[in-house]
Amino acid sequence: MDLSGKTVLITGASRGIGAASAREFAKAGANVALVARSADATAELAGEIGPKAVAIPCDISRYWEMEQAVKNCLTAFGRLDIVVNNAGVIEPISHLATANPDDWGSVIDINLKGVFHGMRAALPVMLDQGAGTILTIGSGAAHGPVEAWSHYCASKAGALMLTRMADKENRDKGIRALSLSPGTVATRMQEEIKGSGINPVSQLDWSSHIPPDWPAKALVWMCGPEADEWLGAEISLRDEDIRRKVGLA
């Protein structure tokens, strides 16, 4: 995939899937806007990638910050072609009957409202250009309940519907919107899940998790025409056929 001349903005870019995606998109020739709350980590990653990367500190749960992040991206690179709505949290893991309402709401602010903020800030720019790709990190949790993950399951189900809405309202205007369900990935989130000791996911052996560069490579692949049959839908990296298409088999 040659993305030379294209610009991608990635939320949650300081670590995990976000950081791996930044490296993969840069490798494909794209300019990369690294958006995350951790200014030091994104600045370090931008330094590693070089002049094709810019670090933009941002709390995606606040719309005005996301809007400013898009403006900063345009100032740096002059355009915005791809948005990867990657930022997400799962802590605190807790049962519905005992969950702290404020903490529960904070997860919704990041995992669901943050996705809306990314779409809302980017879509006017993309619509003006007549083209753009919006990618959302989905989850199997969007499709079924997982014990003590009410906030995560609800937010991921909502994020998938936002992806479907972005497609329904904008496909005929040149916008491509897709979701990627990567499965379990060896990131800090999985460490938090394992530490909780709740539900079968926490019992998985670490070797069963895929490395972050697998979903990163899939996201780059999703920017090409081969992925068009999944517009408005979710691609699962558990699917062996998808892994072959991406080159991971």
Catalytic sites, residue numbers: 152
In Å, how far from its chain's centre is CA 135? 7
Dihedral sign, Cα of residue 214, residue 10, residue 154, residue 61: positive
Strand, helix or coil for residue 39 = helix
Residues 193, 235: Cα–Cα separation, whole Å:
23
Residues 104, 54: Cα–Cα separation, whole Å:
32
Residues 161, 142: Cα–Cα separation, whole Å:
10
Dihedral class, residue 148 (left if φ above 0, else alpha if ψ from -120 to 50, else beta): left
What does the DSSP 8-state code read for residue 176? Answer: E
